[in-house]
Structure 1
């Protein structure tokens, strides 16, 4: 069955889902379970019953980031939220932390769980993993939801570029010194609470630059563990270098032709700018885009109930795609990026073309 009809060139704001109750209910049990796959222990949260949703977290984070929304989604769906290898309660070996390897891990876990069809929801790095999963294992993918996703274009917060430098490993060791993390939290809170200075653009004010400070400090605190920090650096260097993101999706976005795709993005995201949402939406003409005007990089934390309404509404009004190997073969044989089908204003379309050219010419 085909995906949803194109919503047009502008960002769409779907009506709230008709689901009667999206608040967590007291008898919703979220379990943390483990499976050993290829010799490594994999942790994941699981709850609910019904069609399967796979929630993939971002770099340095873990599946607990979804805690607010899992009980709401689990009222109508089976929710699986893994800790990526090297993250959370999963093992942290010296291993392959590339985006394709993470996608393999998601496939392997689903096979072990006996699940062969999922809607994939990916946040930040998890968005890049979700896109790669749909590319590598299209038979598993029913829909794709990208939340402030990495892997659209090369641009990324400069702090992540700096974090790829060799000296950062020594800097991260400072987090293990007693008192350092409390000092970081105090200093960050003080910067955020500073009043706005007249004549200073709000775009460079400390409060705006640290819009997601609570979540970012939380992630930073987890990196005090030496195994976690080593896995973080291996993961980061697999996807980002000093020039920005090294892996993008624009050259293969045409393969989503029949796959329902939803972008959810905070307009105040300082980690991966909102402009990436516009570029991704333009490059996938049938996709939907729902902006969260007052949210940063974690829209499901800023407004969890609206986030769940948007996701469940998308699930209810779209049909899961059935993989068609003949269509896939035709797309890969004769397909490719089709600029004439891009949606959006002239500036956005030009940004898509520039990003594709940058990707093809990079060395």
Structure 2
């Protein structure tokens, strides 16, 4: 097991597959969920600050980092189930869930599936708010994409490509804002199992037209859960215009656009992200789940007849 700046990387076998994770700090629990092709290290710049007041859990999702990369369920719902099981193993009942990119979609799915375990939701450059995405990502679903990725991930090519991406990032041009972090994703594609897992995840969430998984149809179910959305102004992976979509479908949410940040603000501007998270946690109360009101909200949203009934005295809190 490798040490990190905030603690030792631990591994537990859940349902026959190793899951790697880091835990730091003490206090109310905060679960950090990384994006596709990434790993728990993307959170290291903010974990130390959060750990001063909270128990922070940062796993490597199945198929990523030091976790196993089996032929398995890489759906959004499957990931939410796996995180629930990890939390159960750790003896943690409730969490504030923070998700980045793909992890944002997983965070919302976790809130839908396990509302009784969700204190708050934070979405950073999240997927699931529209089909638009960097055009390179849908290309990864095309026939023959696996062979192309294998060729590009060959060690001699990566030895040139990774430094090149980092050099381009240092130019400071808007279109290069995310290349330093994407270089890490690219460098992790060096093994067959990593590439296969990446392909499985991509095909679960994207097709040739863009993102296929949406949170917009069920966003109303989180209206009683304190929610915050952060977006980098210069995001080159998922457009910052989706922050406005978040304002529309998550009307109860706090939405902030971070000037100068790209798709990975937790790595680029850790102080700003830490400050935003700590303020959000400190100024909101954990959600209180009420099964009756959850059921009423679902029926009201999906039944025209139910929606004509008089409002009840109860409100979702």
Q: What TM-score results when the alignment is normalised by the length of structure 1? A: 0.80
C-alpha separation in 1, matches of 2:240 and 2:15: 38
Which residue of the partner structure matches residue 140 of structure 2? Answer: 163
Which residue of the partner structure matches residue 275 of structure 2? Answer: 309
Shift of 1:224: 1.2
C-alpha separation in 2, matches of 1:74 and 1:272: 29
- For these two proteins, the number of residue pairs brought into alignment is 300
Which residue of the partner structure matches residue 73 of structure 2? Answer: 96
Shift of 1:173: 1.3
Q: Confirm or deny: 8 A CA contact 1:172 1:224 kept in the other structure.
A: no
Which residue of the partner structure matches residue 226 of structure 1? Answer: 192
Structure 2 counterpart of 1:182, from 152, 159, 168: 159
C-alpha separation in 2, matches of 1:47 and 1:72: 10
Map 1:62-73 onto structure 2 (within 5 A).
Answer: 62-73=39-50
1:318 matched to 2:295? The reply is no
Bigger relative contact order (CA 8 A; separation at least 6): 1
Which residue of the partner structure matches residue 113 of structure 2? Answer: 136
Q: Confirm or deny: 8 A CA contact 2:169 2:178 kept in the other structure.
A: no
Q: After superposition, give the CA deviation of every residue in 1:311-339 in whole Å (9 maximum; x if it has no partner).
A: 0000000000011001101011112599x
1:49 matched to 2:15? The reply is no
Which runs of 5 or more structure 1 residues have no equivalent in the other structure?
A: 1-27, 196-206, 339-363
Which runs of 5 or more structure 2 residues have no equivalent in the other structure?
A: 305-317
Q: After superposition, give the CA deviation of every residue in 1:141-167 in whole Å (9 maximum; x if it has no partner).
A: 110000000111111110001111121
Shift of 1:191: 4.7
When residues 336 and 267 of structure 1 are mapped into structure 2, their CA distance, relative to the original with a 3 A threshold, is farther
Shift of 1:189: 4.8
When residues 192 and 69 of structure 1 are mapped into structure 2, their CA distance, relative to the original with a 3 A threshold, is closer
Q: Confirm or deny: 8 A CA contact 1:266 1:299 kept in the other structure.
A: yes
1:287 matched to 2:253? The reply is yes
Q: What TM-score results when the alignment is normalised by the length of structure 2? A: 0.91
Which residue of the partner structure matches residue 213 of structure 1? Answer: 179
- Computed over aligned residues only, the root mean square deviation of the Cα atoms, in angstroms, reads 1.7
Which residue of the partner structure matches residue 111 of structure 1? Answer: 88
Q: Confirm or deny: 8 A CA contact 2:169 2:180 kept in the other structure.
A: no
Any idea what SS the aligned residue of 1:144 has? Answer: strand
Q: Confirm or deny: 8 A CA contact 1:254 1:336 kept in the other structure.
A: no
Any idea what SS the aligned residue of 1:61 has? Answer: coil
Shift of 1:208: 2.4
